Structure 1
Amino acid sequence: MSPIANPHELLRFLEELPELNELRVELIDGKIVLQASATPFHQLIVSDLACRFDRDHWEALPGQAVVSPDSSFEPKPDLVVTTRDAVTDNPHPLPCGSAALVAEVIADDREVDRIKKLAWYGGSGIPLYLIVDPHDGSCQLHSQPYSAGYRTRTTTEFGRPIELPKPFDFALDTTKFKLYPPRRPVR
């Protein structure tokens, strides 16, 4: 076996290990991050989002890794929305320029989704970043990317539609989204 030259090669190696099949493996801020599989409420929201983007010429790709010239990140958003035409040669990870929107459903680590990934997705030029937070029942749509994140944020509550700008130009229904139940004390 040859030595691993960079963190992206290490990610490819880890993705092939059967022992890690149930884990989400990402490169965040230069560090390999392993996360347990998501909860049912989390997955239901991702599934619902994917169904809502399954219209016209849009394609919803759950858990698709994305990459940009910034080699310290290779996240796997809960959902990447793109078109078939934007995915030309089956790249893995998918270049950020092919994504029209990425969505993250917050699990435990709000800092990664709300700060680190927000800055990286915007700085990588992804037009829209949707954060769904089942802890507080809110959705944030970030738009107008620039080098340090996004210039615009629109916040809505679960149950209210999220107006998506062009190129989507439709309202995203959030009535099926559920809050996480209160955590039980650990004994």
Structure 2
Amino acid sequence: MSVEEFEELSRRAPELVRLEFIGGKVRARPPADGTHGQVVMWLMRRCLEYRPDLWLYPTCGLAIETCRKGRARPDGVLAPDGHFAGAGEWAAPTGVLMTVEVTSRDAGTNRRDRVEKPDGYAAAGIPVYPLVDREACSVTVFTEPEKGTYRSATTRPFGAVVELPAPVGFALDTEKLKEYAD
């Protein structure tokens, strides 16, 4: 399937289905549950608290992978206020400081959030990728993208303080995430 064919399919998909195009394959994400949404909102509030100059855009479409052949919808994309104005449905990752994913309760979450997304975000040069893993009750922060992979990954349990290094530049106290563990 070409990128153009995927984009047409994505435009026609029902609102309950979030489609992504990663590694040349169409991936369907089920609707997020309430806890998933609550974690994203909690992260939005933390980002605004520590970095009021930035916004955590929920489910912004990004053109990722080499030569823009992939399309992903992170749970959150941290970028300057107004960064995506006029960008259309699938924005270039240039200027994105961080993407965030929160695992879901579906069979595809392991492949999608723990394998494919880190590779895609690293290939796009996105400096920081925290993965809030509800199953493992942990946050893994991927950093130092190089040649399509993150060279560093640090995992901390819910309740620990997690460093989000430059260019994000703040520490995240994850104690609250214990309340959202499934």
- Which TM bucket (shorter chain)? 0.7 to 0.9
How high is the sequence identity, in percent, across the aligned residues?
28
Give a deviation string over 1:140-172, Cα, whole Å, max 9, x none.
Answer: 001110113111111111111211112222111
Which piece of structure 1 moves more, 141-150 or 107-116?
Answer: 107-116
Task: Report what 2:37 is aligned to.
Answer: 43
Work out the number of aligned pairs and report it. 174
Query: Is 2:61 the partner of 1:59?
Result: no
CA separation of 1:70/1:179 partners in 2, compared to 1, >3 Å: closer, same or farther?
farther
Q: Which has the larger radius of gyration?
A: 1
CA contact (8 A) 1:14 1:20 kept: no
The one of 79, 82, 85 aligned to 1:82: 79
| Residues in 2 aligned to 1:11 and 1:174: alpha-carbon distance in whole angstroms | 36
CA contact (8 A) 2:22 2:120 kept: no
**Deviation for aligned residue 1:85:** 5.7
| Structure-2-length-normalised TM-score | 0.86
Structure 1 runs not aligned, ≥5 long = 1-5, 181-187
CA separation of 1:95/1:150 partners in 2, compared to 1, >3 Å: closer, same or farther?
same
CA contact (8 A) 2:98 2:168 kept: no
Q: How does 1:76-155 map to 2 (within 5 A)?
A: 76-84=73-81, 86-87=83-84, 89-107=86-104, 108=106, 109-155=109-155
What RMSD over aligned residues (CA atoms) do the two structures have, in Å?
A: 1.9
| Structure-1-length-normalised TM-score | 0.84
User: SS of the counterpart of 2:175?
Assistant: coil
CA contact (8 A) 1:124 1:147 kept: no
User: SS of the counterpart of 1:74?
Assistant: strand
| Residues in 1 aligned to 2:28 and 2:84: alpha-carbon distance in whole angstroms | 27
| Residues in 2 aligned to 1:70 and 1:137: alpha-carbon distance in whole angstroms | 35
